[in-house]
Structure 1
């Protein structure tokens, strides 16, 4: 298991009977993901581990426990999972799970089963109902979307429906990356771009052009709110210049300077158009100018 914070204060440390038992707000998850374990195929993540740690800290979570998902763990019955993992190992005092939570061998246990099993140890279990959101998709009124889930958010991102993805997340979907050396073709047409190296396990949305806001994290002290810079981002293979490898490039509005080696946080606000091949660099330049004009209008209401 891995956790942040002072390990000396771990709830697994023994204490004298007279000592008051300490409890910590904790998120428990599996590593690797069960699907990775059973298929042997690596997954990409909406929130890779480093991002997850930062998000949970911002919410006041004190511990993140990564349970090693292996053959032994996957074979535990629901009863043994509760007894050996939740009670003996984690010493849970109170549990909260989603309505669709399943656990134990072949996902035999349900949230209701957990509630009943945990009651044998006087551990209360809160079952959180599935959440939905509505979107004003037409003048006729609001349309209710399916329950919020990882799968739904991925579908939204894959289709370029960034607004729905962000509503489901409760925050803008964000790419974190280090600026690396590119071909510098953007400079030749008056639109210099920052070429981002994105972690390989980060889920990327649909290829195309996006309106984005950007923070330069490397230059910002932890206690300072980073400045948001408006821009446009392209995810794709750059077919106009016969590109073959997928890349993530960001053009920042009204900004100049050396970004190499800097870490950027790119908040994706809206999908503008799919990636396309243009007949010339001049045609590409004209399109980027149009994209930038549209993005400025969109982002003016975001900042």
Structure 2
């Protein structure tokens, strides 16, 4: 997939999905899939063959997003992301997106009227032939334009706009906010439903204080980007992927300050079940499968060891048959 932060280097013409797409959840999937009328198959080669025999000029399936997030630009406050750029690229590519254009969100872009945004960015620069947005999409100076305004303005240039209705699960709207709320309470099962996949954390294994080894449960200390949204403190059943493994491994992860041993800052530590080896310097991706318990302070190290042993037992017993 082609990724660019300069419209001048973008591939054209385009079919454009507009939005921030943080999380690339199931609602975002619907917006992206509304872009193309070409058959959706499981095999990329089938799709390529269709495009080769089609008489229509190829339009690049393109997600147009903003960097930094508009909330960060206007508030000046950081906004931890559900999906950092490398993960977002991987997820969008899996959906058949051919191009990601990251528009630099600055004062000039923020001051464009809805009409100017459509004319200058979508029509003149991206040569959009089709546009897709969510029902609650807003754009232009002071968020003056909504999805229906976009459809009306784009119609002047004969560009159709698909407005995708909200995706709903169990009567709740699927949104990035809903994913965050689930993760904030440790409800990774709900987050997994909304995302259509397990929430992940990726980082490099760094050397820690090696307290886990003294307890009989060696852990990998994961250094995750400060830009990544971190779920509620507690203990999780996880699947761990790394180039150090031939296949994913089952593990138990703790997010917290380790109050029993007077920890002073939050760490992310993973104990990999039934595996031993050196992971220092390796990049590791952790898939959060199940929340086991909240962080707590134990009266002794023996009590902590007993609980970790129980956590590992529960993690093993709760593995689904397909795993």
SS of structure 2 residue aligned to 1:50: helix
Query: Partners of 2:221 and 2:133 in 1: how far apart?
Result: 40
Q: TM-score, normalised by structure 1?
A: 0.87
Instruction: Return the offset for 1:116.
Output: 1.1
Instruction: Return the offset for 1:283.
Output: 0.8
Q: Which residue of 1 aligns with 2:205?
A: 179
* Mapping of residues 64-143 of structure 1, within 5 Å: 64-134=100-170
Instruction: Return the offset for 1:3.
Output: 2.1
Q: Which residue of 1 aligns with 2:61?
A: 25
- 1:203 matches 2:229: yes
Q: Which residue of 1 aligns with 2:306?
A: 286
Q: TM-score, normalised by structure 2?
A: 0.82
Query: Partners of 2:126 and 2:268 in 1: how far apart?
Result: 41
Query: Partners of 2:251 and 2:3 in 1: how far apart?
Result: 38
Instruction: Return the offset for 1:10.
Output: 2.4
SS of structure 1 residue aligned to 2:129: coil
Instruction: Return the offset for 1:105.
Output: 1.0
* Mapping of residues 5-84 of structure 1, within 5 Å: 10-11=11-12, 22-84=58-120
SS of structure 1 residue aligned to 2:173: coil
| CA 1:167–1:244: 2 relative to 1, 3 Å | same
Q: How many residues align?
A: 278
| CA 1:44–1:124: 2 relative to 1, 3 Å | same
Instruction: Return the offset for 1:149.
Output: 0.8
Query: Partners of 1:85 and 1:94 in 2: how far apart?
Result: 13
Query: Partners of 2:230 and 2:209 in 1: how far apart?
Result: 21
Q: CA RMSD in A?
A: 1.9
Query: Partners of 2:148 and 2:295 in 1: how far apart?
Result: 47
Structure 2 residue runs without a partner (length 5+) = 14-55
Query: Partners of 2:236 and 2:135 in 1: how far apart?
Result: 34
Higher relative contact order (CA 8 A, sep 6+): 2
Instruction: Return the offset for 1:238.
Output: 0.5
Question: Is the CA contact (8 Å cut-off) linking 2:4 and 2:10 kept in structure 1?
Answer: no
Question: Is the CA contact (8 Å cut-off) linking 2:188 and 2:288 kept in structure 1?
Answer: yes
SS of structure 2 residue aligned to 1:93: strand
Question: Is the CA contact (8 Å cut-off) linking 2:128 and 2:159 kept in structure 1?
Answer: yes
Q: Which residue of 2 aligns with 1:138?
A: none
Moved over 3 A (4+): none
- 1:258 matches 2:294: no
* Mapping of residues 140-219 of structure 1, within 5 Å: 144=171, 146-216=172-242, 218-219=243-244
